[in-house]
């Protein structure tokens, strides 16, 4: 039956080819679109799988870059059971490297407290060193830096070279590579050096990286830290803290940041911290806020947001689930066009072979046999389109990942590719059902007479 169906398709090669190309492009588009969410999930999984510690930062801040918390709180965190090391960090955006503005991919100044950094048992940047060395106590107060492979290759730098960042000449003492576009963006310096360069408030830090002693579970440590700072006052971060362009409520970039922020931070403790006018709320830790008790627990929200690696992954899962819905709607348009193309191709093929079907039925073919022949033809188109679409999608993904390695990472899982083939096959079968049903309604005499 399938050999017969294949010969029929090849007898009308151009029409079959055009239908096949429409389905192939639709499946390739589906694979490409869903690889965006897949790449995001894989990147986050790889990134946070390497981070074993806990991060404490300002409530509501999507990432440490936007967080501001009192520097003195680190001493209190050190005394909490289950905490081994507390490493203060400062994160700031890099604007200019080697006299050129930095737009995309972003680059960040990462200031870390070297004495406590040296106490960490695990450090993703330290373990990622492949040339030179990581910072040590001798680098305190000096413009010595460790940069990622991507930054070094982009600006043609090696260990021992000078690199100008935000108008400051820095000496490269080490190169690292973590294998994640979320991590390989940092220019690492002593925290006091970054504080001077960026004029960072001396009484604040961006966040605290906390390494556990191993005596207690992460959930217990997180709860203990939150409880320690539950009665403190600290303004919840708002997208308006970015001072984006003008303070207009219709600012598109501000709305985008707000949407991403809400997707990432979910509906946890930080949602209970309010002021009378949130739009005027400052990101400064000194700004008092009016706290309200949590409706479920009756407790005041904590002045610190504490996240383990699993928390970041869970929150991003929610974001990618919403992204999948949008991508599914976009893909559905292409799938509908592909299905209509199959129906059109098969219907035209059936119309041209009415006499053939009449003769076959007169020679003993049943309606079931005729339906099997037509659906076999359409399913062959579906299977072939799915396979070719998956291959084309993979080629496109590899090209994008190679061309924009430092900016984006797409990933098509085997499950996605298999789904593409199965879905394409189902489209082919469904596309051939109506022409097959239409053919079975005719008697052999009617079919021959119409021909």
Which has more confidence, 392 or 405? 392
Do 390 and 30 meet the contact criterion of CB atoms below 8 Å apart?
no
Residue 32 lies in a domain: yes
Whole-angstrom CA distances from 123 to 33, 116, 143, 211 are: 34, 11, 21, 10
Residue 391 lies in a domain: yes
**Is 338 in the same domain as 357?**
yes
**Is 282 in the same domain as 349?**
no
If phi over 0 gives left and psi between -120 and 50 gives alpha, with beta otherwise, what is residue 276? alpha
Ramachandran angles phi, psi of 242, nearest 5°: -75, -15
Residue 286 lies in a domain: yes
pLDDT tens digits, 70-128? 999 999 999 999 999 999 999 999 999 999 998 878 899 999 999 999 999 888 899 89
**229: three-class secondary structure by DSSP:** coil
**Is 359 in the same domain as 340?**
yes
**Is 40 in the same domain as 54?**
no
Q: pLDDT grade, residue 44 (50/70/90)?
A: low
**Is 335 in the same domain as 438?**
yes
Torsion sign (Cα): 335, 337, 340, 342: negative
Do 197 and 38 meet the contact criterion of CB atoms below 8 Å apart?
no
Residue 95 lies in a domain: yes
**Is 203 in the same domain as 340?**
no
Work out the burial of residue 22: count CB atoms within 10 Å of its CB; fewer than 13 is exposed, 13-18 middle, 19 or more buried.
Answer: buried
**Is 181 in the same domain as 228?**
yes
- Cα gap 359→394, rounded to integer Å: 45
Residue 106 lies in a domain: yes
**Is 331 in the same domain as 232?**
no
**Is 185 in the same domain as 84?**
yes
**Is 275 in the same domain as 350?**
no
Beta-carbon-side half-sphere exposure of residue 97 (alpha carbons within 13 Å)? 23
- Cα gap 158→131, rounded to integer Å: 9
Residue ranges making up the domain that contains 84 = 50-244+268-313
Domain boundary among 252, 284, 313: 313
Domain tally, the chain: 2
**Is 282 in the same domain as 350?**
no
pLDDT tens digits, 323-368? 667 777 777 776 777 777 777 777 777 777 777 777 777 777 787 8
Do 171 and 157 meet the contact criterion of CB atoms below 8 Å apart?
no
Lowest mean pLDDT among 129-133, 215-219, 230-234: 230-234
Domain boundary among 313, 343, 374: 313
Lowest mean pLDDT among 84-88, 186-190, 378-382, 440-444: 440-444
Computed over every residue of the chain, the mean pLDDT equals: 78
Average pLDDT over residues 59-65: 83
- Cα gap 390→397, rounded to integer Å: 10
pLDDT tens digits, 130-149? 999 999 999 999 999 999 99
pLDDT at 415 over 60: yes
**Is 29 in the same domain as 55?**
no
Q: pLDDT grade, residue 264 (50/70/90)?
A: very low
Residue 321 lies in a domain: no
Global pTM reads 0.64
- Cα gap 93→111, rounded to integer Å: 11
Q: Which residues of 336-360 are buried (b: 16+ CB within 10 A; e: fewer)?
A: eebbebbbebbbebbeebbebbbeb
Residue 446 lies in a domain: yes
Domain boundary among 283, 313, 343: 313
Which has more confidence, 22 or 160? 160
Enter the tokens of residue 192: 């006091």
Residue 83 lies in a domain: yes
């Amino acid at each position: 039956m399938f050999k017969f169906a294949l010969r029929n398709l090849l007898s009308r090669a151009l029409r079959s080819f055009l239908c096949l190309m429409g389905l192939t492009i639709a499946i390739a588009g589906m694979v490409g679109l869903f690889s965006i969410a897949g790449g995001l999930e894989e990147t986050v999984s790889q990134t946070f799988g390497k981070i074993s510690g806990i991060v404490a930062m300002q409530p509501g801040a999507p990432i440490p870059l936007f967080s501001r918390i009192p520097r003195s709180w680190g001493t209190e965190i050190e005394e909490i059971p289950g905490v081994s090391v507390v490493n203060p960090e400062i994160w700031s955006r890099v604007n200019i490297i080697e006299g050129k503005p930095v737009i995309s991919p972003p680059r960040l100044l990462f200031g870390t407290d070297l004495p406590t950094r040296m106490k960490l048992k695990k450090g993703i940047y330290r373990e990622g060193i492949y040339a030179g060395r990581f910072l040590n106590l001798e680098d305190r107060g000096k413009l010595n830096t460790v940069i990622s492979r991507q930054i070094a290759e982009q600006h043609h730098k090696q260990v021992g070279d000078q690199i100008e960042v935000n108008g400051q000449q820095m000496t490269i003492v080490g190169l690292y590579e973590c294998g994640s576009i979320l991590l390989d963006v940092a220019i690492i310096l002593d925290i006091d050096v970054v504080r001077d360069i960026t004029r960072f408030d001396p009484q604040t830090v961006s966040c605290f990286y906390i390494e556990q002693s191993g005596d207690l579970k992460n959930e217990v440590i997180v709860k203990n830290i939150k409880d320690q700072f539950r009665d403190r006052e600290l303004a919840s971060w708002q997208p308006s803290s970015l001072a984006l362009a003008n303070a207009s409520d219709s600012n598109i970039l501000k709305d985008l940041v707000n949407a991403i922020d809400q997707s990432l931070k979910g509906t946890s403790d930080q949602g209970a911290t309010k002021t009378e006018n949130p739009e005027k709320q400052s990101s400064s830790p000194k700004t008092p806020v009016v706290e309200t008790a949590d409706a479920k627990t009756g407790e005041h929200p904590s002045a610190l947001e504490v996240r383990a690696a699993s928390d970041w992954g869970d929150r991003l899962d929610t974001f990618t689930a919403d992204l999948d819905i949008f991508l599914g709607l976009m893909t559905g348009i292409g799938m509908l066009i592909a299905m209509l193309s199959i129906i059109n191709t098969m219907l035209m093929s059936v119309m041209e072979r009415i006499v053939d079907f009449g003769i076959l039925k007169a020679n003993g073919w049943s309606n079931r046999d005729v339906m099997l022949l037509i659906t076999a033809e359409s399913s062959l188109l579906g299977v072939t389109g799915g396979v070719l679409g998956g291959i084309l999608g993979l080629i496109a993904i590899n090209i994008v990942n190679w061309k924009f390695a430092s900016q984006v990472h797409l990933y098509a899982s085997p499950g996605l590719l298999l789904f593409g083939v199965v879905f394409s096959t189902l489209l082919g079968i469904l596309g051939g059902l109506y022409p097959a049903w239409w053919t079975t309604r005719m008697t052999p005499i009617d079919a021959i007479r119409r021909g």
